Amino acid sequence: MQRIQALSNQFNPTIAPPAGNVTYPWVMKYPDFFPFEQVGNLKGKTVIISGGSRGIGLAIGIRAAKDGANVVILAKTVDPHPKLPGTIASACAEIEKAGGKALGIQCDIRFEKDIQAAVQKTVETFGGIDIVVNSASAISLTDTESTDMKKYDLMHQINTRGTYLMSKTCIPYLKKSSNPHILNLSPPLSMQSKWFAPHIAYTMAKYGMSMCVLGMSEEFRNQIGVNALWPRTSIATAAVQNVLGGDSMMQASRNVEIMADSAHVILTSCHKKTTGNFFIDDEVLASVGVKDFSIYRCDPKFSDSQLAPDFFI
């Protein structure tokens, strides 16, 4: 918690981005280095990813596939969506192109039977489960009066309940793995009202995912590594393009590969020593020697310090 409370002291004010007059005080000054103990790569490991047909989830799957992993894509999108890129089939094709074995399963993680069937199919196909990535998430950045209960229920059913249920269902198989991990794409827990007031329903749903990390990491200590990963900056995904800020926000974002590379560091580390952490993407990479983050910028005209901050940091 001390690291989380100190995050606001890690940045310097900077000039405005080239195309606007907004100033982002957003440059990493004092990264918190974590002593990762690497235990190999993901070759032959089975990685199951909810929400894996696009965005960060797919990027994590592709990075695992480069090691020769078995990657299971759980998603709802079978037919192409007019505003959202990627389907289960296209995601599996990218996994196999990257060097991994792919299994695509249509699954709505709100429903227990869907998850149970997906996990059973995974075990039948690959013999077990080594890693769970809870990437699926729903977002509505609306205040209390503007949030209808259908949106509220959707966020809590997918984010909090879906993460809990995915993890719970996979735990018996994870316990049989030599280096099991659960990774939730959720933010550091920080009980500051500024993170709740603008969109309390969304915050509660995302913090529910983080509370799973807090509780399960201790419940399954020395058995399963359970961690959270969150981006320091906005990440160029369909949600950012369609919901949060359009082209201008995409320009001020980093690409999905920074989350994939940092997830890979976590998932290839010792599960007994890497657990119970709320990691920030660039701090993970800095911990293993990365100093140049320019390769992750979507627009090379933007410096690292001119990128848009993500929520909750």
Cα–Cα distance for residue pair 36/20, rounded to 1 Å = 39
Predicted local confidence at residue 303, as pLDDT = 83
The values of phi and psi at residue 304, to 5°, are -55, -40
Interval 223-267: pLDDT, tens: 999 999 999 999 998 777 766 667 778 888 999 999 999 999 999
- Please indicate, yes or no, if residue 188 is contained in any of the structural domains: yes
Task: Write b or e for each residue in 293-312: b if 16 or more Cβ atoms lie within 10 A of its Cβ, otherwise e.
Answer: beebbbbeebebbbbbebbb
**What value does the mean pLDDT of the chain take?**
90
Sheet with 70-75, side-by-side order of all strands: 101-106, 70-75, 46-50, 131-134, 181-184, 225-230, 278-280
pLDDT at 20: 47
Dihedral sign of CA atoms 123, 154, 204, 230 in order: positive
**2 pLDDT higher than 80:** no
Query: Does 149 reside within a domain?
Result: yes
Is residue 24 pLDDT above 50, yes or no? no
Specify the 3-state DSSP secondary structure of 39.
Answer: coil
pLDDT of 11 above 50:
no
Site of tokens 């001119």: 306
Residue 102 lies inside a defined structural domain of this protein: yes
Asked if the structure places residue 76 within a domain, the reply is: yes
Among 81, 136, 133, 88, CA closest to 111: 136
Whether residue 296 lies in the annotated active site: no
Q: Is the pLDDT of residue 18 over 70?
A: no
Query: By three-state DSSP, how is residue 277 classified?
Result: coil
- Asked whether residue 262 is domain-assigned, the answer is yes
What pLDDT was estimated at residue 86?
Answer: 85
Give the tens place of pLDDT for each residue, 209-230: 999 999 999 999 999 999 999 9
Residues 6+ apart with CB under 8 A from 297: 254, 255, 304, 307
Residue 222: CB atoms within 10 A of its CB come to 9
Dump the DSSP string for 48-66. Answer: EEETTTSHHHHHHHHHHHH
Total structural domains within the chain: 1
In the numeric block, which tokens belong to residue 295? Answer: 């390769």
CA atoms within 13 A on the CB side of 222: 0
- Does a structural domain hold residue 137? yes
pLDDT of 101 higher than 90 = yes
Catalytic option among 152, 173, 202, 296: 202
What confidence score (pLDDT) does residue 29 get?
65
Cβ neighbours of residue 222 under 8 Å, at least 6 residues apart? 272
| Closest CA relative to residue 162, chosen from 221, 107, 123, 84 | 107
- Asked, for residue 181, whether it belongs to a domain, the answer is yes
CATH number for 98: 3.40.50.720
Residue 87 domain-assigned (yes or no): yes
For residues 15-28, give the mean pLDDT.
Answer: 45
For the entire predicted model, the pTM comes to: 0.91
Q: What is the pLDDT of residue 239?
A: 74
Whole domain around residue 230: which residue ranges?
Answer: 46-306
Read off the pLDDT of residues 133-185 as tens digits, 9 standing for 90 and up.
Answer: 999 999 999 999 999 999 999 999 999 999 999 999 999 999 999 999 999 99
Spatial separation of the C-alpha atoms in residues 134 and 182, rounded to whole Å: 8
Distance (Å, whole) CA 213 – CA 275: 9
Nearest to 266 by CA among 102, 132, 163, 176: 132
What per-residue confidence (pLDDT) applies to 14? 39
